[in-house]
Structure 1
Amino acid sequence: MHLFNRIKFRTPETVELEFTLAGIGNRAWALLIDYHVLAGIMTVFVVVWVTVSVQLQKLWEGIFGKQVSLWLIAIAFITGFAIYAGYFVFFETLWHGQTPGKRFAKIRVVRDDGRPVGLQQTALRALLRPIDEFFYLGALFIIFNNSEKRVGDLAAGTIVIQAQRPLASTTLTISEQAKPIYEHLLQVADLSALLPDDFAVIREYLLRRGAMSTKARMKLALELTGQVKDIIDLEKLPETVVPDVFLEAVYLAYKEVGDWGVGTGE
């Protein structure tokens, strides 16, 4: 197993993204933190349950007899497992693939195609976690699997990656060359034909382009440029205008159109 395995994802918009796999060290560190948090939660549960179960046993013993103790123990085990599994499901769904431990260790669970995990994936991973922890089976799978997947990951179609550093700002950097093009587009292009979803794809590309390889960036920018030109009924652009600058200009123009009430803006 390589020290830092990497994996590439291709999004539905054909954006190629490369991530570093979390590795067993980071995952073990995250799990250790999560188990400490879980231990605190379970301690509170046990104290509350013991207090409540004593009262319930007194109330129900006359109805159910001595079997009430077995029922209370069974309920305690079921509730305890629900808390255990629910901890991972709750945080990984709410925090887009992270638990407190994963957030501290700067790792994240995503689907095999790079999309955020949902309730189905997090629930399946949590329910299969006891199997992974049986005789360290999950650790063995992570070590000897090229994708570093445990049993829960294989079943849920997920993978654990190192969390990427968040963007410092959602404000895009627009080049000076885009401004005259944007003014030209306002006069000659039908920007009202550009849907909010189209604008969102352009904006997502402009935000993520710095993380792409040069080849993937050039290919995607060219494809988006061709699609946008068809949508806004634009026949041609000056030969000196590169796709990146054109998309920046479309972004600026659509924002201004949105301010007039035709589009959505931001």
Structure 2
Amino acid sequence: MTDTPAPLLDGIHTVLTPEYVEFRFTLAGLYSRFLAWLVDSVLVMVGTSALLMGLSMGMAAFPGFASALGIVLYFLVDWGYGITLESVWSGQTVGKKLLGLRVIQRSGVRIGFHHAALRNLARPVDRLPLFYLVGGVTALLSGSHQRLGDMLAGTLVVRERRLKLPSAIGVPAGQGLLADPLFVSRVKRLGTEAREAVLSAVLRREELSMEARLRLFSALGTKLQELLAMEKPAHLSDEKWTLLVAAALLPASAGAPTVRGRAVAA
């Protein structure tokens, strides 16, 4: 895995897969991350205020306790908001979704609960002394735009790209398999990681050199035969076989002009 030097706003993170195929992710700049944080902060404050208003009747006689509880509630809502949404939405919060950002692991795959928990629990340190000064300076100096929480969790914040669907997904060779209920049912049972690996490889295949492309689809083709417990038809190449699997994964409305590329490595 290698990283190219990141400029002030956006940089590039490169992931080298075991098949020696490179995937490049655009690192989110501090400005877009600040805007996403601003949106999330407003939502956290609104959520905290709503909780406090609900409890205010019972705390009217204890103003000191109410203030302390308000601070505790803020951190609980703040942590819970970030940890829950980033875990459930594959590295996104409302702010990140609006700004087209996503948190991923350095290896390029989606984050899990413990990654989301680590990076969010470290926020109080990143916020010191005010407005994420520690986190902002750390991100500027890190080369990968990582604040302390990201360093601790081994995560990055990247920009999502809108990638054009290759026309081959719509009408791939050997499409008769798409009418086979057994093939389609087994494809639909593929796990999330396998689905995203297939779609990511298909969407990004035009970016790869021919040698890297052949290696990638050879590995994917073999893996898909294992996962589906089906042999690849002899007349199909590994790439066409993978394209058929991708076509079976997509809904009937897949003729839409673009889809949002997921941050995953094959």
Structure 2: runs of 5 or more not aligned: 1-5, 249-266
Residue 103 of structure 1 corresponds to 97
Higher helix share: 1
**Aligned AA (1:144):** L
Q: 1:12 to 1:48 in 2, by over 3 A?
A: farther
Does the alignment pair 1:29 with 2:26? Answer: no
Q: 1:98 to 1:12 in 2, by over 3 A?
A: farther
Residue 15 of structure 2 corresponds to 9
**Aligned AA (1:29):** L
Residue 127 of structure 2 corresponds to 133
Which of 1 and 2 has greater Rg? 1
Residue 244 of structure 1 corresponds to 239
Q: How far apart, in 2, do the equivalents of 1:14 and 1:201 lie? A: 18
Q: 1:20: how far off?
A: 0.3
Residue 161 of structure 2 corresponds to 164
**SS state of the match for residue 172, structure 1?**
helix
Moved more, 79-88 or 215-224: 215-224
Does the alignment pair 1:220 with 2:226? Answer: no
Q: How far apart, in 2, do the equivalents of 1:227 and 1:119 lie? A: 26
Residue 43 of structure 1 corresponds to 49
**SS state of the match for residue 157, structure 2?**
strand
Q: How far apart, in 2, do the equivalents of 1:13 and 1:197 lie? A: 21
Q: 1:202 to 1:74 in 2, by over 3 A?
A: closer
Deviation string, structure 1 residues 145-204 (Cα, Å, up to 9, x no partner): 1111000000111110002327769x933434x459x7xxx9xxxx9xx99659x84894
Q: 1:141 to 1:222 in 2, by over 3 A?
A: same
Deviation string, structure 1 residues 16-74 (Cα, Å, up to 9, x no partner): 422100011110111112222223223323333332201xx4xxxxxxxxxx6655543
Are the counterparts in 2 of residues 8 and 18 from structure 1 also a CA contact under 8 Å?
Answer: yes
Are the counterparts in 1 of residues 123 and 149 from structure 2 also a CA contact under 8 Å?
Answer: yes
**Aligned AA (1:210):** L
Number of residue-to-residue matches in the alignment: 230
**SS state of the match for residue 162, structure 2?**
coil
**SS state of the match for residue 161, structure 2?**
coil
Q: 1:51 to 1:8 in 2, by over 3 A?
A: same
Are the counterparts in 1 of residues 198 and 242 from structure 2 also a CA contact under 8 Å?
Answer: no
Q: How far apart, in 2, do the equivalents of 1:51 and 1:13 lie? A: 62
Structure 1: runs of 5 or more not aligned: 58-67, 254-266
> TM-score of the superposition, structure 2-length normalised?
0.68
Residue 205 of structure 1 corresponds to 198
> TM-score of the superposition, structure 1-length normalised?
0.68
Are the counterparts in 2 of residues 10 and 16 from structure 1 also a CA contact under 8 Å?
Answer: yes
Q: 1:111: how far off?
A: 1.4
C-alpha RMSD of the superposition: 4.1
Q: How far apart, in 2, do the equivalents of 1:166 and 1:25 lie? A: 23
Q: How far apart, in 1, do the equivalents of 2:221 and 2:43 lie? A: 49
Q: How far apart, in 1, do the equivalents of 2:195 and 2:96 lie? A: 31
Does the alignment pair 1:148 with 2:145? Answer: yes
Q: 1:12: how far off?
A: 7.4
Alignment of 1:182-193 (within 5 A): none
Percent identical among aligned pairs is: 24
Residue 107 of structure 2 corresponds to 113
Q: How far apart, in 1, do the equivalents of 2:122 and 2:29 lie? A: 19
**Aligned AA (2:82):** F
Are the counterparts in 1 of residues 172 and 244 from structure 2 also a CA contact under 8 Å?
Answer: no
Q: How far apart, in 2, do the equivalents of 1:124 and 1:84 lie? A: 13
Q: 1:137 to 1:197 in 2, by over 3 A?
A: same
Does the alignment pair 1:175 with 2:179? Answer: no
